[in-house]
Structure 1
Amino acid sequence: MHATRRIVHPAVRRGRGARWLAAASASAALAASLLTAAPAFAASNGYLALGDSYATGQAIGGAKGADPACLQSPASYPSQIAADFGLALTDNTCSGAVLDDVFSTSSAGRPPQAGAPADSIGLITLSMGGNDLGFRSVLTNCLAVSATGPITDGAASCREKHTSGGVDDIVQKLTNEVTPKFEATLAKLRTTYPKARILVVGYLPLMPDAAHTPAGGCFQKLTLQGAIFPFVTTDLEWMHSVQRTVDVQFQQAAENTGAEYLSQLTTAADHTVCSASGQPYIGSLELRGLSGATPQSFHPNAAGLKATGQAVAAALQPRDAFQGIRGQLAPLGGDQYQLQIIVPRSLTSVPDVAATKNGEYLGTVKGSEYYYLYQRTGAATRTYYNTITVTPGDQVELRVHQNGTRQVLTPLPDSFQGVTGQLVHTGGTSSVLEIWVPINTLYTTPGVTARNNGHYLSHVAGEHAWYLSLSSVPGYRVYRQAVTVNPGDVVTLDVGGTGEKQTLN
């Protein structure tokens, strides 16, 4: 349903805008000097970690926790995040966990992972679903005799083994069984923990795509001792495509339930077991005689645990002020633009965000109230808007009253097809570059490149990104990169071949 209304708070008058802004700016400056850059969770600092072996760390560096069989590592990303942000961790991750274990007693008799009281939890992370799909059995049943096949059961390749009548039975199981259960689990988490921030942490890539596969592949023959890689070379791209489908479907499930999603397929593309040049983040298949594979086989190694922890920290950190709120200037013709402040509906507490042009007050969103703006409500976002005039040299900003963090908004050229960039200033010369891609209206992302003073920083094209981490908020894929912006620097986005740019500062 479309709702439009306008609220003018009696304490806010157009003639008083400059004085109000000056007072707000002074308060923001004071707050900025007192506040540390901590993520915005619910009132509680409780952190509930849910997941399988990719979250436990498979006891790398030793085992922790009350149940040694869960193989929780002190180097796991939940442990890193709790330490980095000073959170009270309830680590219920367990090796071998399936989605049913989140709210039901496990087959081993362990209590439900999501058993913490709702009012004690401000953050939830979830890494799960691979065991429901059968990742491990797919790998162990696809061991090959040579790089060109066949696999050990006589099929020419693993892809052939799992394809019948042109239908991939792994993807069919994912679509028909696993993803619906995954989405239902997220939906129940949302209702059980209505005030918690929920972040789904996607799996590190196991196998490379074609662009990151070394010439000749990585085949190592099957033996009963040591690290091996006995896979048909042409199966590598197929396995990667299956995992990408998992990533896409799980991300959409997160979008549908108001959770966030962190994908690692792009940022760790050259860190698979079969890596063309980068350091592997995943351990090789390692057999110990007839006892089978080690627990660390095809799981994150020490470097992978560290990289995942850093990616999760980066996904959490940029929300310390805006909490996923973003602004943009949509062209209406000539020098007329629609100022838009876009708020995820999943936010339970909206910070005080003010819009200004050249320092003059334009409007505010504060909690459930808004001033000098109209509102329309979508499935995943609320958009607060008004028409403003923007001429060359004007600077339009959003600023969080609580700590002075700001976004600089620039007019949106048509060639960007709704893709927008912004710099979130985090202090001093440090900023986070963000490229926001709408996923509900845009099916092919144009080639968008970020530059600082004309020097390449990163870019997004189609489903791929370079030098950017990927996460999501409802309705968008968000690509982020930590950057240094010195006085006088000019950070831009440009669409290849058009000459059109967004200037972000």
Structure 2
Amino acid sequence: MASESRFRTVVLPAFAALAAVVAVAAGAIWIIDATPDDDDTVANSPAPVAGPQLVHLGDSFASGAGTTPLVEDSPVMCQRAQANFGERIAATRKLTVTDVSCAGATTEDFRVAQYDGVGPQLDSLSTSAKYVTVMIGGNDGALFTTLVGECTRLAQDDPTGSPCTSALGRKPFRAIATHTQPDVTATLAEIRRRAPNAQVLIVGYPRLMPAARTCRPAVGIADGDLDYVNRIEAALNAAVRAAAKATGVTYVDLERPFAGHDACAARGTRWIEPQYGADTAVVMHPNERGQEAIAAAVAAQMR
């Protein structure tokens, strides 16, 4: 990628000894050995099925970052996977999918090029779209990077306290209210304008952590910061829900489907991969079972 491309990185001190780890601000996405390996990572996508069009937009939670194989046309930084919920729904319902989701996307990237060769996501929309699936907002204001990155860093010196709560206070809540919610609202309004014949469905984010316990070292959040992190995620989802209501868009809630399947759950039960001991290359993100669960939740609300 050329030097003028926007490339946002954050590296946790806890990962400094792991040369294979690359951190990218994509909903606090942590990619381990993410470079594709021949045919076992990037596979040819099946030929599109003629049918109504589904346009799939969003960030790393939408792109399925960490699951493989990638779709044939996925830029490596987008981590656009065949297992992501938009691709799954399109295959199940025999829809023609236009998938422009990309890890690291913010609402700004719906309007401007995110990387060289990765244009504005809104440009994929037209009057022919029957469905638009969206997951966005978690990267606005570097929210998830702060929650996973900064809160974990602060916990190293105070694992049983609440260092992130003390350091950040009300800042994330103010940012969500004053920037994220209006930006998501404006983005959804523009999607409705460009795809007037489509049912637009925006998906809330799954809870990364359980309500009552932390699970260091799997996830490095301090004990006293658990409620703080959960309240910030709840505020983000409330903002996304409000934006959906204001624009006549269908909101898909993941809190109930993902209950008990967070990053602290056991292997085989969890749908979010933890920071340490993960089974996927990208952590603190939905694994393949998680993407399948999101697809089921979205499909249940499609007309």
Answer whether TM exceeds 0.5 for this pair: yes
1:399-436: per-residue Cα shift (whole Å, max 9, x none)? xxxxxxxxxxxxxxxxxxxxxxxxxxxxxxxxxxxxxx
Alpha carbons 2:147, 2:229 under 8 Å: kept: no
State the percentage of identical aligned residues: 30
Distance in 1 of aligned mates of 2:189 and 2:112:
15
* Cα deviation 1:437-466 (Å, max 9, x = unaligned): xxxxxxxxxxxxxxxxxxxxxxxxxxxxxx
Match of 2:104?
Answer: 96
Partner of 1:219: 216
Residue 502 (structure 1) aligns with: none
Contact 1:270 1:276 in 2 (8 A): no
Q: Distance in 2 between matches of 1:267 and 1:71?
A: 24
Whether 2:298 is the aligned partner of 1:312: answer yes
Measured against aligned partners, the alpha-carbon deviations of 1:186-209 in whole angstroms (never above 9, x if no partner) come to: 111111111111000111111222
Any conservation in 1 of the 2:185–2:243 contact (CA below 8 Å)? yes
Q: 1:208 to 1:48 in 2, by over 3 A?
A: same
Matched, 1:45 2:52: yes
Q: 1:234 aligns with which of 219, 224, 227?
A: 224
**Is residue 149 of structure 2 the alignment partner of residue 140 of structure 1?**
yes
Are 1:207 and 1:237, in contact at CA under 8 Å, matched by a contact in 2?
no
2:196 maps to 1:189: no
User: What letter is aligned with 1:60?
Assistant: T
Question: Which structure features the higher share of helix residues?
Answer: 2
Q: Please, what TM-score do these two structures have when normalized by structure 2?
A: 0.76
Q: Does 1:209 align with 2:211?
A: yes
What's the secondary structure of 1:122's corresponding residue? strand
Instruction: Look up the SS of the partner of 2:196 in the other structure.
Output: coil
Assess, with a 3 A threshold, how the Cα gap between structure 1 residues 72 and 59 changes in structure 2: closer, same or farther.
farther
Q: Deviations over 1:240-276 (max 9, x none)?
A: 1111111111101101101010010122121111238
Amino acid aligned to 1:54: F
1:64 aligns with one of 71, 80, 85: 71
Return the alpha-carbon distance in structure 1 between the equivalents of residues 292 and 187 of structure 2. Answer: 27
2:114 aligned with 1:106, yes or no?
yes
Displacement of 1:287 in angstroms is: 8.8
Aligned-partner residue type, residue 182 of structure 1? V
* Runs of 5+ consecutive residues of structure 1 not aligned to the other structure: 1-43, 150-155, 221-227, 289-293, 320-505
Counterpart Cα distance in 1 of 2:71 and 2:125: 22
Structure 1 stretches of 4+ moved >3 Å: 275-278
Query: What TM-score results when the alignment is normalised by the length of structure 1?
Result: 0.46
Structure 2 residue runs of 5 or longer lacking an equivalent are 1-50
RMSD between aligned alpha carbons? 2.2
Q: CA deviation at 1:136?
A: 1.6
Cα distance in 2 for partners of 1:55, 1:139 equals 18
8 Å CA contact 1:270, 1:278 repeated in 2: no
Measured at CA, do residues 308 and 117 of structure 1 come closer, stay the same or move farther in structure 2, by a change above 3 Å? closer
Q: Please list, as runs of the form range in 1=range in 2, the aligned pairs for 1:81-480 lying within 5 A after superposition.
A: 81-108=89-116, 110-116=118-124, 118-134=126-142, 135-143=144-152, 144-145=155-156, 147-149=159-161, 156-163=162-169, 168-210=170-212, 213=213, 217-220=214-217, 228-275=218-265, 279-286=269-276, 296-316=282-302, 319=303
> What is the SS of the residue equivalent to 2:300?
helix
For the 8 Å contact 2:261–2:272, the answer to whether it is kept is yes
2:246 partner amino acid: N
Is the Cα–Cα contact under 8 Å of residues 209 and 241 in structure 1 kept in the other structure?
no
Flag the structure with more relative contact order, 1 or 2, with Cα contacts below 8 A and sequence separation at least 6.
2
- One-letter amino acid matched to 2:151: C
Q: 2:61 aligns with which of 34, 54, 68?
A: 54
**2:71–2:80 contact (8 Å) kept in structure 1:** yes
1:231 partner amino acid? I
Q: Deviations 1:269-290 (Å, cap 9, x if unpaired)?
A: 21111238992111111499xx
How far apart are residue 126 of structure 1 and its match? 0.6
